[in-house]
Amino acid sequence: MSARREDRDIPKARISKENLGKSLRLFRYLGASDRWLFLAGTLFLLATAVTALLFPKLTGSLVDTALPGKGDATSIGELQRVAYWFIWLFLAQAVFSFLRISIYVRVTENMVFRLREDLFANLLLKPMDYFHRNRGGDILSRFSTDIAQIQDTFTTHIAMFLRQILVIAGGLFMLFFTSLKLAALMLLTVPVVVLVSLVFGRYIRKVSKEVQQMNGDNNVIVDEVITGIVNVKSFTNELFERLRFGGSAEKIRRESIRRGLLRGAFSSFIIVCLFGAMTFLIYRGLQMVQAGDLRIGEMIQFMFITGFVGGSIGGLAEQYVQIQRTLGAVERVFDVIDGEKEASWESDATRRFRGDLRFEDIHFHYPSRPGMEVLAGISFDVKAGEQVALVGSSGSGKSTLASLLLGLYAPVSGKLLIDAEDTAGMPLHERRSNMALVPQEVILFGGTIYDNIRYGKPDADAAAIEAAARQANAHDFIVSFPEGYQTMVGDRGIRLSGGQKQRIAIARAILRNPSILILDEATSSLDTASEQQVQTALDYLMQGRTSLVIAHRLSTIRNADRILVLDQGRIAEAGNHEALMAKPDGLYRKMYELQEQD
């Protein structure tokens, strides 16, 4: 059994000129006022870094003014003055932090709003092959994981990254200004220890990630056993599954112990090296104080700044990793925005088609399977208002013809004409506005029945929606619900039966009032009672419309004007029901008689 793995970490992208250039495109989603606000927020960020570095300076001054032996009025006044500066410093830092955060959040939310809209708009224009090549979960992650990463980076990570650089630069300047000798010792000890700690910490995180992955694999075993418990018991594989789970759990146990030992070693390293380095600096600083080379307040100031610089160096690596992940997220988002799109989508005006169709020597294979031809020279005409049924075995090309008519794919060669006009240059919006599809497996949206019917024509009023429901033989069951048309259908229409969902889909198609109707095995999965109700609604829907009916149950298409029998991508037979049944060895007759026997 294959293990399903979920990697929650966003892949990191190497920082390069190309990636940075692509990321700068995000600023195009900022309005003119947002750009000025972003600049203002950055200035407030600079102000918070400066006020943070002033804290050690004031602390040192406070200690120097409060030393024993300086209790005269002058020193007491100086002490009060420094204390007042602390109050102003805290107030300024609070105001600057509030303004920076609120501005960055406002600017980021405005940018992300426009980015989300653009991403979704471009997703809607993707060709069908894109959705076949990409899993739904991967596409959803562009809107969830990747957008959230960009959002967090602009509100937090960029600000923290810039602030830490400013604190490091400003802190080093203040350290050298305070004491060259002590600053040199600090650079030889603290940064080295911090960098070694980062490398060690990254290795521990890697081991922790491996343990999490093992836990995920272990949970997959449990999930598979619960899901397939009937198979486990029917094949008497309880012992096998127990041993499989035990082996996985044993690996987790060993790796968890190893991780614990590493974490213990890391803690010991921090205690011995990092705190040892700080203690050594305090020792040397006090020696310099005793020698008169440094005031006690300056030494305290130095130690505070050293802590700020060390903390910023440690945090810089994490922010750098987050920025790398954001570059990867930006790249994936813009891959969707910039990638292939359906051609000829826009239409200035939508005309109503008569409904004449012509397929001329259509050849087609799916982009993912170029060596497997699905349609091999299909040619036929459909007159406006005619009902043409497509039958054949699975894989013969029935649904593919419907997909070509809808413009979900384009023929590899040949022509598809509507009202004698080549669809190759026809706007897709105009083309699809004249069509309606009633599929075998109806997918309803998770709103109300009213909203799902209105999907066929979003500007329709309540009277038109009710009329469509009546014509689809759906009104009676809808009003039987306590909430009537406001009944929630649940996720994918789970609260409704198959026949009810089909009639809502038919009502939606009636409301659309299409010139061309495509029925893709609309009754094949229904019981007899539901099929009769749906078929009645379909008969009404097909009146006066060009209808292309893909049928599995041949008894439902006996009254079609023409039946096309497809076999291996070609039209094997054509005619009405009576004509095709008159052929003793005909493919249609064999299929029909086989179903009658069932």
The beta strand positions in 412-514, using DSSP E, are 413-418, 421-422, 435-438
> Which residue in this structure is represented by tokens 């830092």?
93
Cα(42)–Cα(162) distance, integer angstroms: 9
pLDDT, tens digit (0-9, with 9 covering 90-100), for 350-381 = 788 999 999 999 999 988 788 888 998 899 99
Going by pLDDT thresholds of 50, 70 and 90, the confidence category of residue 92 is confident
Among the residue ranges 64-78, 199-213, 246-260, the one predicted with the least confidence is: 64-78
User: pLDDT tens-digit profile of 450-491?
Assistant: 999 998 888 899 999 999 888 888 888 899 988 998 988 877
User: Looking at residue 356, what is its pLDDT?
Assistant: 93
Contacts of 495 (CB under 8 A, 6+ apart): 487, 488, 489
Lowest mean pLDDT among 16-30, 94-108, 400-414, 455-469: 16-30
Q: How far apart are CA 141 and CA 152, in angstroms?
A: 15
Among 542, 384, 525, smallest CA distance to 471 is for: 542
Sheet holding 516-520, edge to edge: 435-438, 516-520, 546-550, 387-392, 562-567, 570-575
Phi, psi of 465 (to 5 degrees): -65, -40
Q: What pLDDT is recorded for position 381?
A: 93
pLDDT bucket at 4, cuts 50 / 70 / 90 = very low
Residue 349 has pLDDT above 70, yes or no: no
Question: Taking 50 as the threshold, does the pLDDT of residue 6 lie above it?
Answer: no
Q: Give the domain 17-178+333-342 fold.
A: ABC transporter transmembrane region fold (1.20.1560)
Task: Give the pLDDT band of residue 66 (cuts 50, 70, 90).
Answer: low
Determine the pLDDT at residue 25: 85
The model's pLDDT over 177-209, given as tens digits with 9 standing for 90+, comes to 888 888 887 777 777 777 777 777 777 777 777
CATH entry 3.40.50.300 includes domain 385-410+421-597: yes
Please determine, for residue 383, whether its predicted confidence score (pLDDT) is greater than 80.
yes
Instruction: Please name every residue paired with 380 in a beta bridge, in sequence order, or none if there are none.
Output: 359
Q: Above pLDDT 90, what percent of the chain?
A: 13
What is the residue-averaged pLDDT of the chain?
Answer: 82
- Distance, CA of 164 to CA of 90 (rounded, Å): 19
The whole-angstrom separation of Cα 369 and Cα 372 is 6
**Nearest C-alpha neighbor of 338 from the set 122, 117, 139:** 122
Question: Residues 384-397: what's their mean pLDDT?
Answer: 88
With contact defined as beta carbons under 8 Å apart, do 560 and 390 qualify?
Answer: no
Helix (H), strand (E) at residue 357: strand 357-364
70 to 63, 76, 85, 481: CA distances (angstroms): 11, 8, 20, 87
Whether the CB-CB separation of 163 and 48 falls below 8 Å is answered with: yes
Tell me the pTM: 0.76
pLDDT band for 27, please (50, 70, 90 cuts).
Answer: confident
Q: How confident is the model at residue 71 (pLDDT cuts 50, 70, 90)?
A: very low
pLDDT category, 130, cuts 50, 70, 90?
confident
Distance CA 463, CA 498 (A): 25
Q: What is the mean pLDDT of residues 280-308?
A: 80
Q: Quote the tokens at residue 307.
A: 């802590």
